[in-house]
Chain A
């Protein structure tokens, strides 16, 4: 069974901390994505990557960075966590432009 695994289901961090959210896929997918999901706003794309060491900004990249050193791993970094980054973070991967995403189970991050 193919999988996208997010390292934590729930995470509580303090304001100003540097936060790492990890995502690993075992499907040899080229494309990986980070979304955040907030009530009433749906899913918003933060960053995506279509190859190792490649990254592109999504719709809301401010306050975030990403790292993709290996094909299977895509990390989202909150440089200095703030309370407005409290959200559900969803990682996804896909193999081609026209194929569906496989999502991880999500990480619910609370910044206090």
Chain B
């Protein structure tokens, strides 16, 4: 079952531009995380935002969470070619289980 759905599925921008990706989910969550995956590799944890937080920053990353709309966005500012990757959101529900449910990802391509 898919909890998170990323939008858009693919995004192509020029180096230096900002990239925004969105994630929508269906049920109440405990926290939401964003991950990056370079081609053919494992996922790397980027940032976690808890359900009682509205915004969080980490370097060039800014994540927002709107629990009333059940959505989150990931903004990458001043993008670089090295940011080219797939980005996934993952949600931990409030049901008390340990597992995270991942969306299908946004493929970001940053053109030099």
Q: Produce 1/0 per residue, A43-76, CB < 8 A to B.
A: 1010010100000001100000000000000000
Min CB distance A31 to B, Å, is: 5
Residue of B nearest to A105 (CB): B42
Q: How far is the CA of A99 from the CA of B98 in the complex (A)?
A: 10
Q: Is B11 an interface residue (CB 8 A)?
A: no
Flag if A104 contacts B42 (CB, 8 Å).
yes
Flag if A48 contacts B50 (CB, 8 Å).
no
The 7 closest A-B pairs by CB, nearest first: A103-B42, A100-B45, A42-B104, A43-B102, A103-B43, A105-B42, A31-B98
Interface pairs (26), CB distance under 8 Å: A4-B42, A31-B98, A33-B99, A35-B102, A42-B104, A42-B105, A43-B102, A45-B101, A48-B98, A48-B99, A59-B1, A90-B42, A94-B98, A97-B96, A98-B30, A98-B92, A99-B48, A100-B35, A100-B48, A101-B35, A101-B43, A102-B45, A103-B43, A105-B41, A106-B41, A108-B40
Which residues from chain A sit less than 8 Å from chain B, CB to CB?
4, 31, 33, 35, 40-43, 45, 48, 50, 58-59, 88, 90, 92, 94, 97-106, 108
